[in-house]
Amino acid sequence: MKLALVVPGGVDRTGEFRVIPVLLALIERLARVHEVHVFALRQEAEPGRWELAGATIHNIGDGWPRLRAIKAIRAEHQQVPFDLVHAIFSGSCSFVAVAAAKSLRLPSVVHIAGGELVALHEIGYGGRQRWKGRLREALVLRAADAITAASVPIIDSLRDLGLHAERISLGVDLKRWPPMSPRGRNHAQARLIHVASLNRVKDQPTLLRALAALMNAGVAFQMDIVGVDTLQGETERLAQQLGLASHVRFLGFKTQRELRPIMASADLLVMSSLHEAGPLVLLEAAVLGVPTVGTAVGHIAEWSPQAACAVPVGDWQALARTIQHVLAHEELRLHLASEAQRRAIAEDADYTAGMFEALYRQLLAARCHDGWDVAR
């Protein structure tokens, strides 16, 4: 097959910075068998083209990226026809993918991977904040031949909108993240980790207030916060105000190679997001034997209580209590770690690629059966 993947970015030519690791893992696996062209809407400001993970990356760049992306897909189709167009993320990506596919009489797939279905007005986030966004999503998703999403809460949100979707999680590359057996704690001070960009959606104030409650309760811990700061030091200033300077380290961005040993040394991943389709870091932590406590979003809600512990969104008191409970009950922590690891390994990057390939074949077979002209 010749496949067109439409993504917002995450495919930087370095392969390490400004990338989405699970996306690269999927591209690499598809490219082993198929001809893969990735159309990135805004990886770089200027248009460009490079090879990455066995695929050809077409960077669209600034200035009417949706229209120029459709034009680029059509131009590449004229060279050798595509079989299918697949958007990873909805919004602009799904608009491009579905519009291009319709114009070329090809099947299209849309994978919901972010905040396309939410409207968090208080922080100005989500694809459903304005009526134009809601209308666009409704039209585009109903025009897609198949919709997928990573976790049950997103599937449920789609069902509430009258849309059927298949659950396909974006799995971890186990060659780059070799599994490690869950390990017992051998130190009095708990090692906590939080991996996310510092931004409104990840809601680090809830995380820090939970940590302050732990500190005031006499819990010994060290928290490593890994991620790009998009808030100009606001989160670090709040940590200082809460008296957490000696308990929290802000490590900034880390490559996957740099993150792995930090994650492997942790006892618990703590997440505080207002919304997640994943989070993908939960899967990375799980394969290294590290369990997660966090707010009830995405995989955290889906896996709780057997393989993660979920608390209400924004409830820092419940988050603090649950962290303390898990740290105080080692048998529970290790049980969560083992079950989380089992699930993450079962749905690794190979599984993800296999599920998408099966879906592609199903759609192409249906088109042939219905008498459509399929390119190849």
pTM of the complete model: 0.93
**Domains defined along the chain, listed by start:** 2-171+348-369 (3.40.50.2000), 190-346 (3.40.50.2000)
Contact status, residue 38 vs residue 48, Cβ threshold 8 Å: no
pLDDT of residue 309: 98
pLDDT of residue 371: 58
Task: Count Cβ neighbours within 10 Å for each residue of 162-193 and write b for 16 or more, e otherwise.
Answer: ebebbebbbbbbeeebeeeebeeeeeeebbbb
**DSSP β-ladder status, 2-7 and 146-149:** unpaired
pLDDT of residue 120: 87
Longest pairwise C-alpha distance within the chain: 69
Residues facing residue 111 across a β-bridge? 88, 148
pLDDT of residue 289: 98
DSSP string, 157-177: HHHHTT---EE------TTTS
In 3D space, the residue among 102, 151, 170 whose CA is nearest the CA of residue 275 turns out to be: 151
What residue ranges of the chain have pLDDT lower than 50? 374-376
Cis before 65? omega within 30: no
Contact status, residue 337 vs residue 161, Cβ threshold 8 Å: no
Place of tokens 């979003």: 297
DSSP string, 10-29: -B-TTSSSSB-HHHHHHHHH
Query: CA-to-CA distance for 123 and 370, rounded, in angstroms?
Result: 45
Angle among Cα 310, 203, 169 to the nearest 5 degrees reads 55
In 3D space, the residue among 345, 307, 25 whose CA is nearest the CA of residue 180 turns out to be: 345
